[in-house]
Chains A and B, each alone.
Chain A
Amino acid sequence: MDEQQDNLSTATETDLETPVLEEGGVPPVPDDGSVPPGTDEGGVPPGTDDTGIPPPDELDDVLSMADGEEAQRGTSKRHQQVSGVLTQMARVARSFLLYDPRNKAIHHFLTSLLDNLVSCLKDGAIKLMVQPFELWYEGEVVYLNRDRERSLAFRFYRDGVRGLHFLPGFHWEELAKLLEILSIRYTGVHQHEDDVVTLLWKANFKNLEIVAVEGFVPEDEEEDEEEDLRALSLRFDAEAGGPGKRVGGGPGADPEAAPLPDDVDLPPPHLPKKVKPDWVDVPVHIKARYRSEVSAAALPSDCLRLVRHMRRQLDDPQERWKYGDIAHLFKEIREFLLVSEHLGPLQRFMDIVAEMAKAEPPPWDQTRRMALDDLLRGCGDDHAVRKLLHSIPVEERQLDPELLAVIKRACADPFNAVLDGLAKEHGSASRAIGRQMLEELGKERVEELQQRFDAVEGHVARDLLRVIARIGGEQAAPFVARQCSHEDIEIQGEAMRHLKAMPYSGQVGRAIFEAFKTAESERRTALLDIMKHTGDRRFVDNLARLLEKQGSSISSSDAVQIGRLMGQLGGERYLEQWQAWLTPKGWIRKHLGGSAAQQIAAAVALSEIPVELAEKTLRGALKVADTAVQPFIGRALSHHRSAGAGKEAS
C-alpha cells in the first residue's frame, strides 16, 4: 500500500496552471516564440488574478480539505502566529502529494510560507517540542492533527524528531532543505541509502537545531545487560538495525563462518624507495576542485565512467558478465541522464550504448544486442521525451540545439514524439521549448499540425496554433485567421495575437471579418486593431455595410471603435459617405437618418479626417442629432478640433 506515491504519480493531472488570454489586448509576439514581455504564458500579465491559481481564500480551502488540522491555536498573538506558520508548513509539505513541484500553486504556497516564517522569526526564535500529534510552543499546543498520515507532528515524531528550534537567521535555503526532507517523508518513498536522521545530519542546518532520535537504544541499559548475562544470550545492537553479534544466518548460512579471508589484499604494495615526508600545503582552491569531483555536477560524468567500466566487464571473457544481470543499472543511469541539464552526458551515453549494440555480442551473451537496442529506444520514447521536456528549467526560453539533436537522434519520429510530449506538458518553459522544437521539426508538416490542432483542445491547441502561425507562412494564414472564430475564446486570442505577423490576403481578411461579425465586444477591439494593421480599405466598405444592415444591434462603444477604424483606414476617400450619413433627411431636414450606431460611427470617422468640411458636417449634425447621439458627436467635434490644432501647431 502506498497511496501517497499513487497520489504523487498523478500530480500533474491536477495541475492548477491554466493560463488564459488577457481580455481585449493582443500583445505582440516576440520573434523567438517566447512569451511576450510582461505577460505570463498565454498572455496573463503579472499581478492579475487570473493566473490559474485560486485566490488566497480559496487556496486554504484547496489545501485544507480533510487534512485534519485543527484551527489556528494559541492564546497570545505570538502563539497564533507560530500556529499559523506550522499549519502552513504542514500544508506545503503535503502539497507535493497533489501538485507537480514546479506548479504555480506551490510557488504561491512557498512564497506565503517564507514570508510568514521570516516575519515570525523577527520576533525571536521558535522553539518547538514535538509530541506524537502536537507541536508545543512555550507551554501551549500550537499545532494539532490527529490524522497519522497527514499530521506534521506525527511525521516528525515518527521519524525521531523531538524538538525543532528555528533560529532568527533561518534562511530560505534551510527552509527548502527542511521541506525537501519533509516532502520525501510525506511521499512515502523508502530510502535504502538514507533515513530522516541521516538526511538531517547531511543537511547540516546552521539555524535550525533539531533534537532527533539517533536510532533506538535499550530502555534500561543496566537492566538489559543483566538480562543478557542471565540469559547468556547474544547482545542486541539495535542501532545497527538488528542484532549485533549474531550475524548473518538465513537458510544454510553458518553464522560463525568468515566469508572474508584474513589475507585480503595481501601482499602489501611493494614500494622500494623511502622519501622523508614533509608538510606540503594544499591550497584552498585545490581542495575545492577535489570536492567538486563529488558534487552533483560531477555525477553525470561518474555515471559515464561507470558505464565504460561495465562495458569492459561485459566484454571480458574472464568475467563473462551478461548484460541482463546489470541492465537495471543502465536503465537507472539512462533515467538519471534523461533531463535537460544532462544532454551532453546523455549523448555520450547513447554513443557508448550504440557502440555496444553495434558490436558483435560475445558467445556467452547473445541476446545483448536486442536489449541494448531496447535501451536506446528508451532514450526517445514517449516517456523520455516527456521527461526531457518536463525537466526544462522554469526560466528557460531558448531551445538548446543539443536538446533538438538528442530528440532527433533518439526518436524514431521526433515530430510526433514532441507533439505527444507537448500534449501532456503543462509547464510554461517546457511548452515554450516544445513549441520551438516543433517549429524546427514541423516545417514541412504544417498540414499534419493543422490536423492535430483540429483534434485537440485547450493549451495544446493553443500551442499548436502558435507553431502553425510561426512556421506556416502564407498558406497557414487563412487557417489561423479562421481560428479567430474558434469556439474557445483563448484560441481566438492566440490566433489574433499572431495574425499581425502573418502574410495578409483576401482570404485572411474575409476570415477576420467573419470573426468580427460574431465576436464578443471585447474581441472586436482586437480584431479592429488587426484590420487597421492590414491597411485593407475593403474593411471600411464591409463595416459600413454592417452598420447599414445591423446598426441597431451594434452598441455605441463598438460604433465608436468602428468609426475610428473607418476614419483612419478610409481617410478623405469616404468623406462624402460619412457626410451623407450625418446629413438630415426628410423634407424638413431636422432629423438624421440611419441607426444611432451608424451616426456615431460616421461622426467618429469624420473626426479622424483633418479637413474643414468634416468639422462643418459635425457642427451641423450636432444641432439635429438625438440627445443620445449628441455627446458622441460633441466629442468627435472636440477631437477633430484638437487634432487639427495639433496639426497646425506641428
Chain B
Amino acid sequence: MSTVDQMQQGLEKALQAAAQADDRELAGRVREDGRRLVFILLGLLRTSRLHDKDNAAFETPSKEFATTLNALLDLLGAVHVVCVEDQIYVNDIRLRGNPREQQMIEAFVQELARHRVGGISFHGALQPDAVREIAQAVAGKPGDESPRAALEHKLSGLGDIALSGTHRFRIGGEPTQQRKDYEEAMKRGASVVAEAVQNLAADRIPNPLPIRRVVIDMVTSLREDPVDGSLEPFRQTTGRAGEQHLLSVTSLALTIGEALELPEGAISDLGVAAMLHDIGYTKVPDRTGHCAAGARLLLRQRGFHEAKIRRLLMVLEHHDPYAPRDEEGTSGLRRSERMPCLFARILRIANDYDLLVSPRPGQPPPMSPSMALAHMWSARETEYDPNLLALFAQVLGLFPPGTLLELTDGRWVLSVSGARDKERFSWPLVRVVREADGTFSDATEEIDLYETRTHLRPARILDPSKMGVDVGKQVSRRKARDEEGGADEEGGADEEGGADEESK
C-alpha cells in the first residue's frame, strides 16, 4: 500500500472515530441553548438602557432566559459562559455564528469587559425577576476602582452566580513558573474533580474534557519531577479525603504509566479514568457495589470512544486481583481475558498503595511507604501484576519518597527521591528532619545516601505518627523550599527560607 493510501486510510479512520465519539445531540443542545442564553442576555442589557426594570419589555425575555438557563443547568450542572478574546464558550463548547451573530458575540464580550469581567457562571436556577436585576446591573455604569468587585456586590443575593476576570488564550511556551506547575495542576485537578463528582452525583452527563486537560498538565509536570507523583498521597491538595484519594491515585497511576512508557493518548486516558475510578461511592457507600455504580454513572456519556470503553473497564475491574479466579461465565475465556485490563491492573497498585500510606480522618495512622511496598511485594503474582509492581518499585525504590528513616548516626531523614536507578535502588536522596541530638531540623540539608553508603546508611524505618513527624507538612515544605531555591537561583534573591522549628 502506498504512503498516500495509508494516509487516506488513517484519515478515514480518524474521521469515523471522531464521528462515533460525537454526542451530537448534547453538543447541539448546549450550543443552541448557550447561544440563546447569551443573545437574550445581550438583548436584556440593551433593553435596560431604554427602559425601567419594571417595564413589560423585560417580561418575556426574562422568562425565556430563566427557562433556558434552567434547562442547561439540568443538563450540565453549573453553566459557565466564558469570553476569551472575541469568542464565547459555554462549558467548553464554542458558540458559532454568522457574521451578524459574531458581532453580537463580540458586543456581549464588550459589555462584560466594561466591568473587567470575562465570564459568568450560573450555579443555580434564576427567577425572571432576578434576571431583570442582573441585566440592570450589568448594563449599569461600571464601578470606578474595582468594577468587577462592584458588579459582584450588585449581583450578590440575586442568585448563585460567580464572575471571573477577562481572559486571553495562553500560548504554549509562555514563560511560566515551571516549579509550580505540578501543584497548580493538582489544584486545578482538585477543582475539576470536585465539580465532576458533584455533577455525576447529581446524575449529570460526564464531561471528561476538563479532566483530560488537567491530566495532561499533570503528566507534563511529572516528567519534570517524577517524585511529585509518589509524594501526592502525603499532601492535602484538597481538604476532602475522598477527592484527595482520587488525585493521589491518579498521580501514582500516571507514574506507573510513565514507567511503562505508555503513549500519550493512553496515558491521558489512564489519568482521566483514575480521576473517576471511585465515582460510584457517590451513589453506593459500600466497597462491593461502587464499581458497578460508578460504571453506571459513566455510562451516561454518549458516543463511542476508546477512552470511555477503557475507563468503564477500569472502574469495573480496579479491585480485581491479578490472578484470575474462576467465576461463572469465564470458563471459556483465555487467561488474559480473565485477568483485569491493563488500566485496572495499574490502578489496583496505585489504589492500594495510596490506601496503605495516606492518612485519612478518623482512621488509624497509615503505614510507612517502605512497609507498604514490602507488603504489596508479597502479593506479586496474586493480587498485583508482577511486572507493573516491579516498575512501580523501580520508581519508588526500597525507601519510597515520604519514608521516615533513622540513619546510623542517629539523624532522622525523610526520603525525597525514588530509586533513580538499579545501583541506587536502596540509597535514596534524603532530607534531615531531626538532628541526632533530637533537634528538629528545617529539612534543608539533603544527603545522597548512595554517596555516603560506606559510612552513613539507614538504620531503621520509623513510624512518623509515633515519632511526631508530619510527612505531609514536610513534603509541602520541601516543595516550597525548592521553589524558593529556584527563585533565588533565577532572581538572585537572598532571602533564606525561614522554616519553623518543629518540636516533638
Q: Does A647 contact B (CB under 8 A)?
A: no
In the complex, besides A250-B73, A269-B352, A291-B261, 16 extra interface pairs with C-beta distance below 8 angstroms are A96-B11, A101-B11, A183-B15, A184-B14, A239-B188, A246-B78, A246-B121, A247-B194, A251-B124, A259-B197, A272-B375, A274-B375, A274-B378, A294-B269, A326-B299, A393-B1
Asked if residues B393 and A277 are in contact (CB atoms below 8 Å), the reply is yes
Cβ-Cβ contact count across A and B, 8 Å cutoff? 451
| Residue in A closest to B243 when the chains form the complex, CB atoms | A260
Expressed in whole angstroms, the minimum distance between the Cβ of A556 and any Cβ of chain B is 45
A-B contacts, 20 of them at CB < 8 A, read: A96-B11, A96-B15, A107-B4, A189-B24, A190-B23, A190-B27, A198-B216, A227-B146, A231-B153, A236-B164, A240-B191, A244-B188, A248-B202, A249-B73, A250-B74, A253-B77, A259-B201, A274-B375, A277-B374, A290-B260
Asked if residues B195 and A213 are in contact (CB atoms below 8 Å), the reply is no
Q: How far is the CA of A191 from the CA of B361 in the complex (A)?
A: 39
Asked if residues A294 and B310 are in contact (CB atoms below 8 Å), the reply is yes
| Residue in A closest to B165 when the chains form the complex, CB atoms | A224
Expressed in whole angstroms, the minimum distance between the Cβ of A464 and any Cβ of chain B is 27
Q: Which of A280-288, A397-405, A560-568, A620-628 contacts B (4 or more CB under 8 A)?
A: A280-288
Q: Does B313 contact A (CB under 8 A)?
A: yes
Expressed in whole angstroms, the minimum distance between the Cβ of A89 and any Cβ of chain B is 13
Cβ–Cβ < 8 Å partners of A649 in chain B: none
Asked if residues B198 and A247 are in contact (CB atoms below 8 Å), the reply is yes
Interface residues on A, range: 35 or more
Asked if residues A216 and B149 are in contact (CB atoms below 8 Å), the reply is no
Cβ–Cβ < 8 Å partners of B296 in chain A: 321, 325-326
Q: What mask results when residues 349 to 392 of chain B are scored 1 for a CB within 8 Å of chain A, else 0?
A: 00110011000111100110001011111110001001110110
Q: Does B415 contact A (CB under 8 A)?
A: no
Cβ–Cβ < 8 Å partners of A306 in chain B: 309, 312-313, 316
Q: Which of B127-135, B336-344, B429-437, B474-482 contacts A (4 or more CB under 8 A)?
A: B336-344
| Residue in B closest to A233 when the chains form the complex, CB atoms | B152
Q: How far is the CA of A183 from the CA of B14 in the complex (A)?
A: 9
Docked complex: B277-293 residues within 8 A CB-CB of A: 278-279, 281-282, 285, 287, 289, 292
Q: Does A317 contact B (CB under 8 A)?
A: no
Asked if residues B8 and A394 are in contact (CB atoms below 8 Å), the reply is yes
Q: How far is the CA of A218 from the CA of B117 in the complex (A)?
A: 10
Asked if residues A262 and B361 are in contact (CB atoms below 8 Å), the reply is yes
Q: Does B179 contact A (CB under 8 A)?
A: no
Asked if residues A249 and B281 are in contact (CB atoms below 8 Å), the reply is no
6 smallest CB-CB distances across A and B, nearest first, come from A249-B123, A248-B198, A236-B164, A260-B242, A213-B169, A231-B149
Given the interface pairs A189-B19, A248-B194, A262-B241, the reply to whether A269 lies near B146 with Cβ below 8 Å is: no
Partner of B198, one of A234, A259, A273, A329: A259
Given the interface pairs A247-B194, A274-B375, A302-B341, the reply to whether A175 lies near B118 with Cβ below 8 Å is: no
Docked complex: A377-400 residues within 8 A CB-CB of B: 393-395
Asked if residues B398 and A276 are in contact (CB atoms below 8 Å), the reply is yes
Q: Does A58 contact B (CB under 8 A)?
A: no
Asked if residues A189 and B341 are in contact (CB atoms below 8 Å), the reply is no
Given the interface pairs A214-B171, A216-B84, A248-B77, the reply to whether A240 lies near B213 with Cβ below 8 Å is: yes
Q: Does A169 contact B (CB under 8 A)?
A: no
Q: Does A110 contact B (CB under 8 A)?
A: yes
Q: What mask results when residues 95 to 119 of chain A are scored 1 for a CB within 8 Å of chain B, else 0?
A: 0100011100011001100100000
Q: Does B50 contact A (CB under 8 A)?
A: no
Q: Does A364 contact B (CB under 8 A)?
A: no
Asked if residues A193 and B307 are in contact (CB atoms below 8 Å), the reply is yes
Given the interface pairs A255-B123, A261-B242, the reply to whether A294 lies near B342 with Cβ below 8 Å is: yes
Q: Which of A331-339, A539-547, A580-588 contacts B (4 or more CB under 8 A)?
A: A331-339
Q: Does B235 contact A (CB under 8 A)?
A: no
Q: Does A217 contact B (CB under 8 A)?
A: yes
Q: What mask results when residues 277 to 313 of chain A are scored 1 for a CB within 8 Å of chain B, else 0?
A: 1111110001100110110100101110110110111
Of B119, B160, B164, B202, chain A has the most CB atoms within 10 Å of the CB of B164
Asked if residues B212 and A335 are in contact (CB atoms below 8 Å), the reply is no
Asked if residues B394 and A279 are in contact (CB atoms below 8 Å), the reply is yes
Asked if residues B20 and A335 are in contact (CB atoms below 8 Å), the reply is yes
Asked if residues A239 and B213 are in contact (CB atoms below 8 Å), the reply is yes
Given the interface pairs A245-B191, A250-B204, A309-B313, the reply to whether A332 lies near B355 with Cβ below 8 Å is: no
Q: How far is the CA of A332 from the CA of B80 in the complex (A)?
A: 29
Given the interface pairs A242-B195, A243-B162, A393-B9, the reply to whether A268 lies near B152 with Cβ below 8 Å is: no
Cβ–Cβ < 8 Å partners of B394 in chain A: 279-280, 282
Cβ–Cβ < 8 Å partners of B94 in chain A: 158
Asked if residues A2 and B306 are in contact (CB atoms below 8 Å), the reply is no
Asked if residues A215 and B209 are in contact (CB atoms below 8 Å), the reply is no
Cβ–Cβ < 8 Å partners of A299 in chain B: 306, 309
Q: What mask results when residues 204 to 234 of chain B are scored 1 for a CB within 8 Å of chain A, else 0?
A: 1001111011101100000000000000000
Asked if residues B22 and A190 are in contact (CB atoms below 8 Å), the reply is yes
Q: Does B92 contact A (CB under 8 A)?
A: yes
Of A220, A223, A282, A308, chain B has the most CB atoms within 10 Å of the CB of A282
| Residue in A closest to B257 when the chains form the complex, CB atoms | A294
Asked if residues B27 and A243 are in contact (CB atoms below 8 Å), the reply is no
Q: Does B411 contact A (CB under 8 A)?
A: no
Asked if residues A191 and B209 are in contact (CB atoms below 8 Å), the reply is yes
Asked if residues A198 and B102 are in contact (CB atoms below 8 Å), the reply is no
Cβ–Cβ < 8 Å partners of B198 in chain A: 247-249, 253, 255, 257, 259
Q: Does B459 contact A (CB under 8 A)?
A: no
Q: How far is the CA of A326 from the CA of B378 in the complex (A)?
A: 39
Q: Does A266 contact B (CB under 8 A)?
A: yes
Q: Does A589 contact B (CB under 8 A)?
A: no
Q: How far is the CA of A240 from the CA of B67 in the complex (A)?
A: 26
Partner of B162, one of A213, A230, A246, A279: A246
Cβ–Cβ < 8 Å partners of B305 in chain A: 192-193
Q: Does B253 contact A (CB under 8 A)?
A: no
Cβ–Cβ < 8 Å partners of A5 in chain B: 24
Q: Which of A74-82, A204-212, A410-418 contacts B (4 or more CB under 8 A)?
A: A204-212
Docked complex: B63-96 residues within 8 A CB-CB of A: 70, 73-74, 76-78, 80, 82, 84, 87, 89, 91-94, 96
| Residue in A closest to B73 when the chains form the complex, CB atoms | A250
Q: How far is the CA of A278 from the CA of B22 in the complex (A)?
A: 46
Q: What mask results when residues 7 to 43 of chain B are scored 1 for a CB within 8 Å of chain A, else 0?
A: 1111110110011111110111001000000000000
Asked if residues A219 and B168 are in contact (CB atoms below 8 Å), the reply is yes
Q: Does B167 contact A (CB under 8 A)?
A: yes
Q: How far is the CA of A514 from the CA of B85 in the complex (A)?
A: 75
Cβ–Cβ < 8 Å partners of A281 in chain B: 390, 422
Asked if residues A291 and B263 are in contact (CB atoms below 8 Å), the reply is yes
Q: Does A264 contact B (CB under 8 A)?
A: yes
Docked complex: B454-479 residues within 8 A CB-CB of A: none
Asked if residues A197 and B262 are in contact (CB atoms below 8 Å), the reply is no
Cβ–Cβ < 8 Å partners of B23 in chain A: 190, 192
Given the interface pairs A217-B167, A218-B166, A236-B165, the reply to whether A193 lies near B212 with Cβ below 8 Å is: yes
Q: How far is the CA of A559 from the CA of B352 in the complex (A)?
A: 92
Asked if residues A242 and B80 are in contact (CB atoms below 8 Å), the reply is yes
Q: Does B274 contact A (CB under 8 A)?
A: no
Expressed in whole angstroms, the minimum distance between the Cβ of A106 and any Cβ of chain B is 6
Expressed in whole angstroms, the minimum distance between the Cβ of A134 and any Cβ of chain B is 16
Q: How far is the CA of A176 from the CA of B119 in the complex (A)?
A: 37
Asked if residues A240 and B123 are in contact (CB atoms below 8 Å), the reply is no
Asked if residues A184 and B210 are in contact (CB atoms below 8 Å), the reply is no
Q: Does B302 contact A (CB under 8 A)?
A: yes
Cβ–Cβ < 8 Å partners of A187 in chain B: 15, 18-19
Asked if residues B160 and A249 are in contact (CB atoms below 8 Å), the reply is yes
Q: Does B265 contact A (CB under 8 A)?
A: yes
Asked if residues A282 and B391 are in contact (CB atoms below 8 Å), the reply is yes
Asked if residues A242 and B165 are in contact (CB atoms below 8 Å), the reply is no
Asked if residues B18 and A332 are in contact (CB atoms below 8 Å), the reply is no
Q: Does B425 contact A (CB under 8 A)?
A: yes
Q: Does B268 contact A (CB under 8 A)?
A: yes
Asked if residues A302 and B310 are in contact (CB atoms below 8 Å), the reply is yes
Asked if residues A260 and B278 are in contact (CB atoms below 8 Å), the reply is yes
Cβ–Cβ < 8 Å partners of A311 in chain B: 329
| Residue in A closest to B370 when the chains form the complex, CB atoms | A277
